[in-house]
Amino acid sequence: TNSSRQIADYILQQYPNDDTRIAAAYAWVTANIEYSKDSMMAINWSLGMNEKVAATLRRRKGVCDNFASLFADLLVKMNIEAVVVNGLAKAGGTTRAHSWTAVKLSNEWFLCDPTWDNGSHFAKQYFMQPPEDFIKAHWPFDPLWQLLPVPVSLQAFERGWLNMPETGIKETVLKAVDSFMALDSLQQLKAQEERMRQIGLDQNHLRNWYAYNNMNIAIIIGEQDMNHYNNAVAAANEANELLNKFAIFRNNAFTPTVADNHLIQMLAPVHKLLKQAAHHVEKVSKGRANFQYDTGELSGKIETLQKRLKTQQDFLYLYLSADTARRLQMFYQ
């Protein structure tokens, strides 16, 4: 099958608990996906999660990011928390960019590297390892995913200066990860950006990942800006149409005659629409990601519409306060 949903459903039916389901998913990925040696340890930045998973199942091969993404996707589809982690790995005397998977089981986080267990005939050398063991060969760009109370520096990792406590993940780390997982995608990217910035950007792969993370922040903010800007334009245009409709009706001396309440209701939505438009304009980013939307002209249009609304409201107030004879005179002043 080329469907991760079908694979996950099969595992759910065949295996009774999360322990065995995680093991089954890991065995399936390491046994059925071939490692693509022509792009060794490369991180596939150009595809989204769903695209990576679909391409991996279609081709039945891939690099580390494909292995980690497919394994994580299968677990998530079985309601097991899992995250693709990107960082550096030491193998064959070199340190290169790599991807692996963090998995939550029984309120603890473990780390897996399906790429390195690929083709090992169901051996699980890198399966559900505790953080203090996994850090010996894997250093994540985001220090949160070391899952250690005190993160290991890049220099210590590269030189093997590791002095890990022989205890599992501490409560403070678990809370930090749970808090991170509760954030939306933009908040997560910004939190990762801040943690990476704090540890320093001295290593080339780390700088590249930091730039990639920033690019994703800009993409999300750009999409939000587009939505806010378009919503602001739509609300302002609708307000303008209602004001024009009222002005034409006023120019025709409010004929055919309608009830006073109808006149009030003609203007009632305009204030709300302009408030919505101003709110969306305010939400458009004023920072690094906004290269496209200049809100100055739009803000000016909204301000003009607000003045027009005030003019019509003032006229309507006087009109509704007047007697019939006075009302007729008001149209010719």
Domain locations in the chain as residue ranges: 4-182, 226-330
The closest alpha carbon to 62, from 78, 51, 76, belongs to: 51
* Residue recorded with tokens 């953080």: 131
Check residue 229 and give its pLDDT.
Answer: 94
| pTM of the complete model | 0.79
The SS3 call for residue 83 is strand
Q: Half-sphere exposure of residue 27, counting CA atoms within 13 Å on the CB side? A: 11
Check residue 42 and give its pLDDT.
Answer: 46
Write 40-48 long-range contacts (CB < 8 A, 24+). 40/96, 41/89, 41/91, 41/96, 41/97, 41/98, 42/97, 43/86, 43/97, 43/98, 43/99, 43/209, 45/212
In tens, the pLDDT along 271-297 reads: 999 999 999 999 997 755 555 778 889
Q: Which amino acid is at 161?
A: W
Which H or E run contains 209? helix 204-251
Residue-wise DSSP of 127-191? SSB-HHHHTTTEEESSGGGG--SSPPPHHHHHHT-----SS---HHHHHHHHHHHTS-HHHHHHH
DSSP at 42: -
CB burial of 50-79 (b: ≥16 within 10 Å; e: otherwise) equals: eebbbbbbeeebbbbbbbbbbbbbbbebbe
Those residues of the chain that have pLDDT short of 50 are: 39-42
* Residues composing the chain: 333
**Six token digits for residue 134:** 């996994």
Per the prediction, the chain carries an average pLDDT of 90
Check residue 44 and give its pLDDT.
Answer: 55
In tens, the pLDDT along 292-314 reads: 778 889 999 999 999 999 999 99
For 41, 101, 280, the CA distances from 211, given in Å and listed in that order, are 19, 22, 28
Per CATH, the architecture of 226-330 is what? Up-down Bundle (1.20)
> Which CATH number applies to 4-182: 2.40.50, 3.30.530, 3.10.620, 3.40.50?
3.10.620
